[in-house]
Amino acid sequence: GAVVSQHPSWVICKSGTSVKIECRSLDFQATTMFWYRQFPKQSLMLMATSNEGSKATYEQGVEKDKFLINHASLTLSTLTVTSAHPEDSSFYICSARDYGRVYEQYFGPGTRLTVT
Amino acid sequence: KQEVTQIPAALSVPEGENLVLNCSFTDSAIYNLQWFRQDPGKGLTSLLLIQSSQREQTSGRLNASLDKSSGRSTLYIAASQPGDSATYLCAVRSLNAGGTSYGKLTFGQGTILTVHP
């Protein structure tokens, strides 16, 4: 149980285009989802927290107009990187908090984004 | 602001050794602490979660301890195997602003473990 999926697992896009990453909780309802970014050999940095039906809360230094987050249902959150640039290339990991077990987060397998 | 530090940054051991990974955090007002494993290019797998009121948790060959007052946790791996090779991340969940519930999860930089045959 408590499986979180991400799609796609990797994506290559050209500079200036937008790319959408999906995060789904497969067997539980996630009232809260989190988006993290991880650079090579570095730790996870929280980008934003989203609650179902509400606007996402972004961490300091994260451009909300560049990283659009939508949490439309209890099982789906999306991250759209708009007008991507090579410096946006990174590993993006989503996480979901189980409505019934609020003290634990479950993590997706990550999406590798490469912007050329 | 919570800061989490993991030592060592990398560790290479022969198969069969017992080893200890260290994690320290600056703010002892925590809700819980969690140890994760991350394989290269993959997401996180939760290994052990210790609530702030607990001192340790065990799962198979893994044992994690928590000393909240001193801001430290250790992950002990017994009889290491090549399959244990991965990055191990320590993450601390702080209390919320009111001190009554859970807040943000802060990660350490990780320890890269290599167990060679």
Q: Are B48 and B35 in contact (CB under 8 A)?
A: yes
Phi, psi of B83 (to 5 degrees): -70, -10
Please report the pLDDT score of residue A40 as a whole number.
Answer: 82
Please report the pLDDT score of residue A103 as a whole number.
Answer: 65
More confident residue, B1 or B117: B117
CB contact under 8 A, A105 and B105: yes
Which residues from chain B sit within 8 angstroms of residue A104, using beta carbons?
34, 46, 49
pLDDT category of residue A1 using cuts at 50, 70 and 90 = low
pLDDT of residue A57 exceeding 70, the answer is yes
CB contact under 8 A, B46 and A43: no
What is the three-class DSSP state of A89? coil
Which residues from chain A sit within 8 angstroms of residue B41, using beta carbons?
91, 110, 112
Cβ neighbourhood burial of A25 (10 Å; 0-12, 13-18, 19+): buried
Closest-CA distance, B116 to chain A, in angstroms, reads 20
Cβ neighbourhood burial of A94 (10 Å; 0-12, 13-18, 19+): buried
